């Protein structure tokens, strides 16, 4: 079973600063990696899929990258609305097991 890990668990950032979130897969998942943003009381929102493709309507300050089994979500200049929990997820599709990471909470420094 593929295990997804995320670091750090909590990231404290000042508005306007850059935030870098990490996600690691326990085995190769190619680029089948998505990032989601979740705010309190809301459903998650798809931000990035295929490791680096922004979903429709997602601001350009969000970007994703991949190096082997290491994935990074970068928020170039944090806005107030970006303080949330971010989850990574693998969707390798076969076998059909879709694993989420434990999440990184981005809060205000």
DSSP 30: T
68 belongs to the binding site for other proteins (CB under 8 A): no
Query: Parallel, antiparallel, or unpaired for β 70-75 and 4-7?
Result: unpaired
Listed ranges 21-29, 44-52, 63-71, 74-82: which one lies at the site for other proteins (CB under 8 A):
44-52
Q: What's CA 76's distance to the chain center, in Å? A: 14
Number of other CB atoms surrounding residue 56 within 10 Å: 5
3-state secondary structure of 82: helix
Task: Tell whether residue 28 is a contact of other proteins (CB under 8 A).
Answer: no
- Single residue of 2, 13, 24, 32 touching other proteins by CB under 8 A: 32
Residue 15 vs 98, nearer CB to other proteins: 98
Q: Is residue 89 close enough to count as binding other proteins by CB under 8 A?
A: yes
Dihedral (CA of 4, 33, 17, 85) sign: negative
- What residues make contact with other proteins under the rule CB under 8 A? 32, 34, 36, 38, 43-46, 49-50, 53, 55, 87, 89, 91, 93, 95-103
């Amino acid at each position: 079973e593929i295990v997804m890990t995320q670091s750090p668990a909590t990231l404290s950032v000042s508005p306007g600063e850059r935030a870098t979130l990490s996600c690691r897969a326990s085995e190769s998942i190619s680029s089948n990696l998505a990032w989601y943003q979740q705010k309190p009381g809301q459903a998650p929102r798809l931000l990035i899929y295929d490791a680096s493709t922004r979903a429709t309507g997602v601001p350009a300050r969000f970007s994703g990258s991949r190096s082997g089994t290491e994935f990074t979500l970068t928020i170039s200049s944090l806005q107030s609305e970006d303080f949330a929990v971010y989850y990574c997820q693998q969707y390798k599709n076969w076998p059909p097991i879709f694993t989420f990471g434990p999440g990184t909470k981005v809060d205000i420094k």
